[in-house]
Amino acid sequence: MYFSFKNVLGILLPIFLSFHTAWAQPERWQQAVKYTMDIDFDIKKHQAKGKQILEYTNNSPDTLDKVFYHLYFNAFQPNSMMDVRSRTIKDPDPRVGDRIMKLSKGDQGFQNIESLQMNGRKVVYEIVGTILEVRLSEPILPKTKVTFEMEFVAQVPLQIRRSGRFSKEGIEYSMAQWYPKMCNYDYQGWHSNPYVGREFYGIWGDFDVKITVPSDYVVAATGILQNKDIVGYSYSQLEPAYRPKRLTYHFKAENVHDFVWAADPDYTQIVHQMSDSTKIRCFFQPGEKTTENWNKLPLIMEEAFHYINKKYGQYPFKEYAFIQGGDGGMEYPMATLITGERSLVSLVGVSVHELMHSWFQMVLGSNEALYHWMDEGFTSFATNDVMNHLVSKKLIPGTYEDNPHIKSVNGYINFALSGNEEPLITHADHFITNTAYGVASYTKGEVFLEQLRYIIGDQAFNKGMLSYFHTWKFKHPNPNDFVRIMEKASGLELDWFKEYFVNTTHTIDYQIEEMRGDELILRRVGNMPMPLDITLTKKNGERLYFNIPLEMMRGAKKGDFFFNNFKVVKDWPWTHPTYSFKTGVNFRDVDKVEIDPTKRLADKDKTNNVWPRLMPEKGADK
């Protein structure tokens, strides 16, 4: 999802280390699905009549006597949890506000279940808001596969949030969260989260979907179109009597955990074959506000793909579709729905952000309700990196920045100082305010990576990010899994960093107390400990660089592109409020000492980071 477009440009060219590692594959079971769906879509009623066959494999060691499905469209009914939450939260999403409460019957959404069987036998079920609770007549044993057969009718609501009909830009159908979808069951149990606002978690598997629409509609979707010859045929050449009234689009997608589609009679399509054989498709409504920028999109995104593939791991699917639709930007497997009437920088920004989710949500797939920041935050981090790269290639306007994450570091600090921050570990729907969710998930999630990069150095960090992708792809990693990867990449203990930065809202503040002789005396003022980078500039202009590791790291970073040629001094035990070391330079020869000259450390008070301390303004005049 796209939270807000920040001015995102800037970073040093990363060093790509060439290394060959065998990535150990962790053992963790996960469920598997295979959906076969046949959808008959009625544009007069805005309803999809569907048949769904779901082959469900229980790879868990547990016997399941119930299962749950998401029925997301039921959120778009007055007094749903999404509606009440939106009307009672202090800072509602303006796209939702009180709009759900005001929907007339025909404009509401629903997913009704007409029939449901497991292995040919009826099951007992009950719809509870956005969740279908199913009590099984026979349990699903460990390591067995069952088949659910369902008939359903879904009414597409007026577009309120993400999916729906008649978007502001005039896209007729944005079909996200549109079919009954099995909830995930994993080593942490069932995740039958009601649809209140956000974040999705699905089971990987294969989708085979047939969608029948009036023949003047163009359908864009997750997956690979199987019958190009039939739906791509130019029927307008035929006499009207010979033109088919309806066409069936047939899509297949493998190893995805969701399926999105969109339909509009005005869609035009650009197909772009990239040099590595991945295909980019762009679907948009031509017009003054779209055509020029959308025509530029494929080549720019090809460069983005190449950069991301090298740095964050190879995109594993054969196609990707940028589809005009939805209400901002929202990620799905092999596709995104984005609003399209944007400036070029904004269009590329949202496209890069949603594409980046292909790595952190579609391939890594952490449980987003619990670990939203591992998706949105990591995506934001990579987006700023990629946008800065595109600026350096002059593919988009903007200013190249040595470090494109500094703005996010400062944004996080400002919000932490407001007193409204909530811990990163908060469930996505359960933050007190939407703003606190946004800052935690997107900004602090990005800053999590930037702090880690500061702690372990950017060489180990880049190595770790690639190793993370290769080790945990298609396995739903949790925060601990990620931190273990970074521990292995750096040789340092990092659990303390995760505990502080994820589970608490403790903040960072260090200060330089004074210099006594050649001894530098420092104090930890904030509650969160961190290792420190220090520079000492002598009056003759010479500079010395020091790194103070925390004792509990059991080591120090080895190299750091941003802060090189440093000397590691003795460890700082976190329990000790003060710390000192001998710099070898008498204070009389010192021009300036500074904590974190690269400004990466999320230190909330930078005024006490230098010595001699900057005088208050009045004194500075003297």
Q: Which residues bind Zn ion (CB under 5 A)?
A: 1, 376
Write phi, then psi, for 148 (nearest 5 degrees): -100, 135
Nearest-10 crossing angle of helices 368-392, 445-456: 70
Asked if 260 contacts 222 with a C-beta cutoff of 8 angstroms, the reply is: yes
Asked if 369 contacts 201 with a C-beta cutoff of 8 angstroms, the reply is: yes
What is the identity of the amino acid at 452? L
Nearer to Zn ion, 312 or 454 (CB): 312
Q: Which residue is nearest to Zn ion (CB)?
A: 1
Nearer to Zn ion, 1 or 196 (CB): 1
Nearer to Zn ion, 442 or 579 (CB): 442
Q: How many Cβ atoms are within 10 Å of 317's Cβ, its own excluded?
A: 20
Q: How many Cβ atoms are within 10 Å of 375's Cβ, its own excluded?
A: 29
Which of 67, 34, 52 shows the shortest CA–CA distance to 138?
Answer: 67
Nearer to Zn ion, 9 or 382 (CB): 382
Nearer to Zn ion, 200 or 566 (CB): 200
Q: How many Cβ atoms are within 10 Å of 275's Cβ, its own excluded?
A: 8
**Closest approach of Zn ion to the CB of residue 356, in Å:** 8
What percent helix, strand, coil does the chain show, rounded to 5?
30, 30, 40
Nearer to Zn ion, 50 or 438 (CB): 438
Could you tell me which residues come within 8 angstroms of residue 506 by beta carbon, excluding any fewer than 6 positions away?
A: 500, 526, 527, 528
Instruction: State the residue for tokens 């590595």.
Output: 276
Nearer to Zn ion, 3 or 152 (CB): 3
Nearer to Zn ion, 376 or 401 (CB): 376
Could you tell me which residues come within 8 angstroms of residue 477 by beta carbon, excluding any fewer than 6 positions away?
A: 364, 366, 374, 468
Nearer to Zn ion, 131 or 382 (CB): 382
Q: Is the dihedral of CA 137, 142, 146, 152 positive or negative?
A: positive
Reading the block at residue 411, the tokens are 């944004």
Nearer to Zn ion, 376 or 458 (CB): 376
**Closest approach of Zn ion to the CB of residue 353, in Å:** 6
**Closest approach of Zn ion to the CB of residue 76, in Å:** 21
**Closest approach of Zn ion to the CB of residue 384, in Å:** 13
**Closest approach of Zn ion to the CB of residue 8, in Å:** 13
Nearer to Zn ion, 376 or 603 (CB): 376
125: three-class secondary structure by DSSP: strand
**Closest approach of Zn ion to the CB of residue 258, in Å:** 14
**CA atoms of 501 and 450, how far apart (whole Å):** 12
Write phi, then psi, for 441 (nearest 5 degrees): -65, -50
**Closest approach of Zn ion to the CB of residue 565, in Å:** 38
**Closest approach of Zn ion to the CB of residue 320, in Å:** 15
**Closest approach of Zn ion to the CB of residue 375, in Å:** 7
**Closest approach of Zn ion to the CB of residue 128, in Å:** 29
**Closest approach of Zn ion to the CB of residue 563, in Å:** 30
Q: How many Cβ atoms are within 10 Å of 38's Cβ, its own excluded?
A: 16
Write phi, then psi, for 238 (nearest 5 degrees): -85, 155
Reading the block at residue 350, the tokens are 């949202």
**CA atoms of 385 and 401, how far apart (whole Å):** 10
Q: 499 burial class (0-12, 13-18, 19+ CB within 10 angstroms)?
A: middle
Nearer to Zn ion, 1 or 449 (CB): 1
**CA atoms of 561 and 574, how far apart (whole Å):** 26
**Closest approach of Zn ion to the CB of residue 15, in Å:** 27
Which of 286, 397, 411 shows the shortest CA–CA distance to 346?
Answer: 397
Asked if 146 contacts 182 with a C-beta cutoff of 8 angstroms, the reply is: no
